[in-house]
Structure 1
Amino acid sequence: MTALGRHAVDDRLDLKVVALGGGHGLAASLSGLRRVVKDLTAVVTVADNGGSSGRLREEFQCLPPGDLRMALAALCDDDDWGRTWADVLQYRFATRGQMDEHAVGNLLIVALWELLSDHVGGLDLVGRLLQAQGRVLPMAETPLDITAEVELPDGRRAQVRGQVEVATTEGRLLEVALDPADPAPCGEALTAIGEADWVVLGPGSWFTSVIPHLLVPDLRAALEQTTARRMVVLNLAPQTGETTGFTPERHLETLSHHAPGMRLDIVLADPSTVSDEAALQAACEVVGARLVLADVASEDGSARHDVTKLAVAYAGALATT
């Protein structure tokens, strides 16, 4: 059975991989990576302030569970147990009452946090229940807020606060920051990065899912100092409200701006997104990376990665020495 087959544990690469991000981008990355590596850890942003996560965060003064839930669901295996529990985690109530739009997984995670008073312990327990093919960790011990300086359409500048607000702003993002600016990182996440063979950043919302990891000082230092090789996976299209008009090389430049000491080894991009390969090659050389072009786009024409294609691309890239 190949590395992409069900339960092909023996065929997976004997590598320790840490994937950082949040939301749908990280979920796609994890769905691909769990099929090709034996030891996988997700480090997930904790700045969401909208929807079910935002409501639970405000009511319980806890980390927003939504991105953590999505990462756990993505690590579920492809057998009946895994698919069933992934569906349970992602199930949302539809009512006219206070439970409307709450995801079952969010409630389960928060319940375990309340019982155990331990973020990592609660997430590990959910992972055991799901028989997850990897571990999920928060990037920080406390919930964070993303703030941004925005250039408005009329040329004025304004400050925007909150992940949802930053992601949906009509202006051009100039700079993002975290509040608090120096949060306590998850110790287990720092350890995982220090022991990793590979670290993978992206794909995902650039300013609200990817770059926030570089704004936690201790986490950024760990990413800069790790002996692991580093890969960045570029998005398939600019995101309205965050990266409108961004080229692939602009994504890399923005990443380097927030972590100038972090060198890269591989930049993975879908060829359909690259209009100027020479310019992207030059941007990769600035950060020390090799450009890998691979078909990783969904066949439905959406700006989402196909997890099977992504797994094939990861298998090839991660096996390089």
Structure 2
Amino acid sequence: MTYGENRIVRVIKGRRPKIVVIGGGTGLPVILNALKEQNADITAIVTVADDGGSSGAIRNYINVVPPGDIRNVLVSLSDIPEKEKEIFQYRFNSSDSFFAGHAIGNLIIAALNEMQGNIFDAVQSLSKMMHVDGRIFPASNEPLTLNAEFVDGTTEAGETEITAQDKQIKRIWVTNTNSSTQPEAVLPVLAAIMQADAVVLGPGSLFTSILPNLVIHNLGEAVRQTKAEVIYICNIMTQKGETDHFSVADHVQVINDHLGGNYIDTVLVNGAKIDMTKFNPADYDEYLEPVRNDFEGLRKQGCRVITADFIDQHSGLVFHDGKKVVDEILNIAFDAYCRRKQEE
């Protein structure tokens, strides 16, 4: 059955494919935008352990979950006019000493968090106001602190501080910033993962965008228990201070190690050659080199590997092509749904 036929079956059955995307950073909205265009039933689970930039400053001032990744996901799934999105995304320039660097959307999210009493309800209210097509769930209802142990045995706390060490990370974990209680995801997050056809991890920073979600104990357990296909979209480039010289198999091994077993079912791997002469490292100096493909290493971890040209390279930068990636995700999700129905 061709991909086009798959889409006809989905329409006839009147059921949108249920896709959960877990992560943060700039890669997440690329996938969400493309899923929205394909009319998927989307749930975005967004990391809340960021402590940099405007998000970090707001977090330090008023002690809320960092809003930056949530803001970008809201915009990617919103149906409001583009002009209103531009206002929401507007960032004050440096001539205003008080507001300098802050995005209007971050301030609105922080205000709603204060009004509603928690970030989860704040995001749900704002999702309605912005006519979001899908669901956006913070991974936790409390601000979290990212912690890391390095290979040399030293430890550090805070995303910015961890990446600044420029050391190989052995493992990460999260703690509640404001209490000693164990971080938890709320029930709608867990339900979305358990009911999904596909759970997508990435693309995004391995140690600071993807893993901070998976090490929340009940969220990680939901990923281990779900019957959905667990898909990992590997980054195109290695990242300074996080994945220096990593192969695709190295990325997957780190995720599986943190989950406690081989839980990645399918890996999407870019097979297209990257034209490094067009790549301007001055624009993205945190990226080092293309991630090496290691198919033997992936096979040893029991992964199905899908290799294709998944990149969109322009203006000296390299990104995932959202449409190409989402075409594969929807095929996989449809197959997973059919398998589940046969088992019932």
Is TM-score (shorter-chain normalized) higher than 0.5?
yes
SS at match of 1:317: helix
Matches within 5 A, 1:95-134: 95-134=95-134
Structure 2 gap ranges (5+): 5-9, 273-289, 337-344
Separation (CA, whole Å) in 1 of partners of 2:83 and 2:164: 33
Instruction: Using the TM superposition, give the Cα deviation of residue 37 of structure 1 relative to its aligned residue in structure 2, in angstroms.
Output: 4.1
Flag the 1:157–1:91 CA change in 2: closer, same or farther, 3 A.
same
User: In the TM superposition, what whole-angstrom CA distance separates every residue of 1:51-84 from its partner, at most 9, and x where no partner exists?
Assistant: 211121122221111111111112134xxx3433
The answer to whether the 8 Å contact 1:193/1:222 transfers is yes
Separation (CA, whole Å) in 2 of partners of 1:230 and 1:125: 29
Flag the 1:106–1:287 CA change in 2: closer, same or farther, 3 A.
same
SS at match of 1:177: strand
Give the equivalent residue in structure 1 for 2:166. Answer: 170
Flag the 1:57–1:241 CA change in 2: closer, same or farther, 3 A.
same
Flag the 1:274–1:167 CA change in 2: closer, same or farther, 3 A.
closer
Matches within 5 A, 1:1-321: 14-77=16-79, 81-94=80-93, 95-151=95-151, 157-180=153-176, 182-261=182-261, 263-272=263-272, 275-276=292-293, 279-280=294-295, 282-300=296-314, 301-321=316-336
- Percent sequence identity is 32
Which AA in structure 2 matches 1:308?
Answer: K
The answer to whether the 8 Å contact 1:72/1:136 transfers is yes
Separation (CA, whole Å) in 2 of partners of 1:267 and 1:103: 34
Structure 1 stretch displaced more, 208-217 or 296-305: 296-305
The answer to whether the 8 Å contact 2:120/2:141 transfers is no
Instruction: Using the TM superposition, give the Cα deviation of residue 41 of structure 1 relative to its aligned residue in structure 2, in angstroms.
Output: 0.6
Flag the 1:147–1:186 CA change in 2: closer, same or farther, 3 A.
same
Flag the 1:212–1:54 CA change in 2: closer, same or farther, 3 A.
same
Structure 1 stretch displaced more, 128-137 or 102-111: 128-137
Between Structure 1 and Structure 2, how many residues are aligned? Answer: 305
Separation (CA, whole Å) in 2 of partners of 1:319 and 1:187: 25
Structure 1 stretch displaced more, 199-208 or 55-64: 55-64
Give the equivalent residue in structure 1 for 2:276. Answer: none
The answer to whether the 8 Å contact 1:294/1:313 transfers is no
Separation (CA, whole Å) in 2 of partners of 1:286 and 1:59: 47
Flag the 1:89–1:295 CA change in 2: closer, same or farther, 3 A.
farther
Structure 1 gap ranges (5+): 4-8
SS at match of 1:245: coil
Instruction: Using the TM superposition, give the Cα deviation of residue 249 of structure 1 relative to its aligned residue in structure 2, in angstroms.
Output: 0.8
Instruction: Using the TM superposition, give the Cα deviation of residue 10 of structure 1 relative to its aligned residue in structure 2, in angstroms.
Output: 6.2
Instruction: Using the TM superposition, give the Cα deviation of residue 127 of structure 1 relative to its aligned residue in structure 2, in angstroms.
Output: 1.5
SS at match of 2:242: coil
Which AA in structure 2 matches 1:211?
Answer: L
Flag the 1:270–1:85 CA change in 2: closer, same or farther, 3 A.
farther
Separation (CA, whole Å) in 1 of partners of 2:228 and 2:81: 30
Instruction: Using the TM superposition, give the Cα deviation of residue 21 of structure 1 relative to its aligned residue in structure 2, in angstroms.
Output: 0.3
Separation (CA, whole Å) in 2 of partners of 1:287 and 1:255: 11
Flag the 1:139–1:275 CA change in 2: closer, same or farther, 3 A.
closer
Flag the 1:56–1:274 CA change in 2: closer, same or farther, 3 A.
closer
SS at match of 2:59: helix
Which AA in structure 2 matches 1:245?
Answer: H
TM-score (norm 1): 0.87
Structure 1 stretch displaced more, 21-30 or 259-268: 259-268
User: In the TM superposition, what whole-angstrom CA distance separates every residue of 1:232-252 from its partner, at most 9, and x where no partner exists?
Assistant: 110001111110110111001
Which AA in structure 2 matches 1:33?
Answer: L
The answer to whether the 8 Å contact 1:45/1:138 transfers is yes
Structure 1 stretch displaced more, 183-192 or 82-91: 82-91
Which AA in structure 1 matches 2:129?
Answer: L
Flag the 1:91–1:260 CA change in 2: closer, same or farther, 3 A.
same
Separation (CA, whole Å) in 2 of partners of 1:131 and 1:100: 28
Separation (CA, whole Å) in 1 of partners of 2:87 and 2:240: 30
Separation (CA, whole Å) in 1 of partners of 2:101 and 2:49: 19
Flag the 1:65–1:275 CA change in 2: closer, same or farther, 3 A.
closer
SS at match of 1:98: coil
